[in-house]
Structure 1
């Protein structure tokens, strides 16, 4: 990762030209009824404003029209966001950013870094569990990024009480599916993971997809070393994780809506998280 890439700011709103290039081709539009009085770009930027500010929908600062009235009601913005979440538009926008990065040769898939992150939930909701390790009730996701801090695959979600290790085997098919969709070749790539993912099933799942695992040994309370051939491990690549995937999670925390989960419906929370990862990928093209 170059010095200029590491200092790129994460966009929090899109211009009309950026919206038409990266977002509009993937959004669904109503087939019946009158067209919306407000452009879709303005509605989408209101959703991004909620994501960045972390405010309630009713507290969203709405601009006024010529009559001095709010140009749109927050309920309409929420309903539009729920419709785009339900029909897969938000997921398609994220996949489109990965495709743009690949076509512009901005992806470095020689090393893929993965990790999980847990978000505390304060208001309850679905897909939650108590994490004894984190001492909080919430949910967790497992995500992958390349060496340039670009998220390259849809994340896998689970309650907070789930172990992260089995989630890797659910996330790998999404990674390979995304690679096939954009025409990328993952053969020979190195998958760098934390020691919590150290198990035979995970290593086999990575090997079967033509990739090489880079996972430190997890002793799991053993008093003597495990017998057998020593697994390959590159400590330099493992330390690179803290400049990539941990940096991505730090960028994610800039969006206040994701610091704590106040959404009772998990699909809404994951839609916001997908939008945040989309904006992280768009930092190469969009400058505030």
Structure 2
């Protein structure tokens, strides 16, 4: 049997540890010794994989309390740890020529939500509150960026922000790359103004037209983003949004994208 998915491997820890902010040690009143970062990260991954509530995190496994894990997740997200880790992993894939820059694929299915900010009434689900994850992947399904909005936000309005959210990816000679050759999208992104904006960036828009029969052939390339959403939903904490605070949910999303990208890196060996 393989290791539990919430156990932080040595390979992953070697990449994360240098990015974590250092805590200053108090000498006069040191207080209780803090739980080691690696054990706390295991607790965060336990919540992400199982969907368990913070207060039910089993302390006998050595993760520390749920509040400790929550605070570290918040602090590490504010420090940009997940963004930095993601860029490191993307650079490794790029160095191995395993990022498909010939096309990017976008999608943004609505997600049910229990509470919180960055939500809104869905125009297609009787006004129920919800949020949307706007995801962009490369041609292989690797996710360079994800954006969280309210469920009432039109898909096409996030097309340009998604392209902007692709980080500068290093790993190869020359300037870092952050622009695909083309972008594929379904009918929800059909708007000529946005097509023109995509072309202005010297990117080819391959966007399905409304009121046209199915079978355009775009599904041959768009299925990878649907598979990546299935990977995200493999993390039970992301199936339903429980976090009231948008930044905590965004931290889970960013961490999940890092883990998906890390799996791609491991496939290189």
Q: TM-score range by the shorter chain?
A: 0.7 to 0.9
The CA RMSD measured in Å over matched residues stands at: 2.6
Aligned to 2:147: 156
C-alpha separation between the residues in 1 aligned to 2:186 and 2:39? 41
Aligned to 1:199: 191
C-alpha separation between the residues in 1 aligned to 2:265 and 2:8? 10
Matched, 1:279 2:259: yes
Aligned to 1:167: 158
Matched, 1:55 2:48: no
What are the superposed Cα offsets for residues 147-191 of structure 1, whole Å, 9 maximum, x if unpaired? 211012x2222211111111112222222x43579822636x121
Aligned to 1:264: 244
C-alpha separation between the residues in 2 aligned to 1:163 and 1:268? 23
Residues 146 and 253, structure 2, Cα contact 8 Å, conserved in 1? no
Give the gaps of 5 or more residues in structure 2.
none
Aligned to 2:228: 248
- SS at 1:110's partner residue? coil
TM-score scaled by structure 2? 0.85
Cα separation, partners in 2 of 1:203 and 1:80, compared to 1, 3 Å: same
Aligned to 1:18: 12
Cα separation, partners in 2 of 1:190 and 1:71, compared to 1, 3 Å: closer
Deviation at 1:246, TM superposition (A): 0.1
Give the gaps of 5 or more residues in structure 1.
1-9, 65-69, 221-233
- SS at 2:133's partner residue? strand
| Aligned ranges 1:232-247 → 2 under 5 Å | 235-242=216-223, 244-247=224-227
Cα separation, partners in 2 of 1:29 and 1:239, compared to 1, 3 Å: same
What are the superposed Cα offsets for residues 84-142 of structure 1, whole Å, 9 maximum, x if unpaired? 112222222222222221122211111111111222111x2211111121443111121
Deviation at 1:45, TM superposition (A): 1.6
What are the superposed Cα offsets for residues 223-250 of structure 1, whole Å, 9 maximum, x if unpaired? xxxxxxxxxxx943443212x0000001
Residues 129 and 137, structure 1, Cα contact 8 Å, conserved in 2? yes
**What number of residue pairs does the alignment pair up?**
254
TM-score scaled by structure 1? 0.79
C-alpha separation between the residues in 1 aligned to 2:51 and 2:5? 15
